[in-house]
């Protein structure tokens, strides 16, 4: 299996793991104790945002694993992977700029996880596959992540 496919599989698995971690953060850090301190809508929205973010991470991770296992990757699949790459890049910058109010070990783990997953998506998206042209027998560059066929 190519390095870029392995990177995509690992990025997808990492997204799924981070989704599971984020799904349990509210319970792990006792967010329910703040129920009476904020209005009900704010409390509900906090849990809704946490759930939504976990769902997006899990969906994107599962899609990445599925796409990595396919022999050909089409335009729509690349769009999904670009979205994942952008999501993780934005998340990494946000985590670095505004660290969450969790213990230092968890803070560093979330930041390191985001950095590794971002790097893995970038490996996949920024590398190209070299193949032999069927007509001329010379090496040509397959349209990888940076150039797609129309």
- Whether pTM > 0.95 for this model: the answer is no
| Domain definitions of the chain by residue range | 3-141
Residue 125 or 129, more confident:
125
pLDDT of 65 above 90: yes
- Using alpha carbons, list the distances in angstroms from residue 80 to 34, 55, 66, 85: 36, 15, 11, 9
7-18 pLDDT, tens per residue? 999 999 999 999
| d(C-alpha 70, C-alpha 91), whole Å | 27
| d(C-alpha 89, C-alpha 98), whole Å | 14
Calculate the CA 99 to chain-centre distance.
18
The percent of residues in the chain predicted with pLDDT above 90, rounded, is: 49
Beta bridge partners of 130: 141
Identify the band that residue 141 occupies on the pLDDT scale cut at 50, 70 and 90.
very low
46-57 pLDDT, tens per residue? 888 889 999 999
| d(C-alpha 136, C-alpha 1), whole Å | 26
């Amino acid at each position: 299996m190519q390095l870029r496919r392995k990177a995509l599989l690992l990025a997808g698995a990492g997204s799924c793991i981070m989704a599971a971690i984020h799904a349990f953060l509210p319970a792990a850090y006792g967010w329910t104790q703040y129920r009476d301190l904020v209005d009900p809508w704010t409390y509900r929205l906090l849990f809704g945002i946490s759930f939504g973010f976990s769902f997006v991470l899990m969906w994107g991770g599962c899609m990445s694993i599925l796409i990595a296992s396919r022999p050909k990757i089409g335009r729509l699949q690349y769009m999904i992977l670009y979205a994942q790459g952008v999501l993780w890049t934005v998340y990494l910058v946000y985590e670095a700029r505004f660290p969450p109010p969790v213990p230092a070990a968890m803070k560093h783990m979330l930041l390191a996880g985001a950095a590794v997953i971002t790097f893995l998506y970038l490996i996949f998206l920024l590398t190209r596959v070299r193949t032999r042209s069927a007509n001329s027998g010379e090496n040509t560059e397959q349209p990888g992540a940076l150039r797609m066929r129309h």
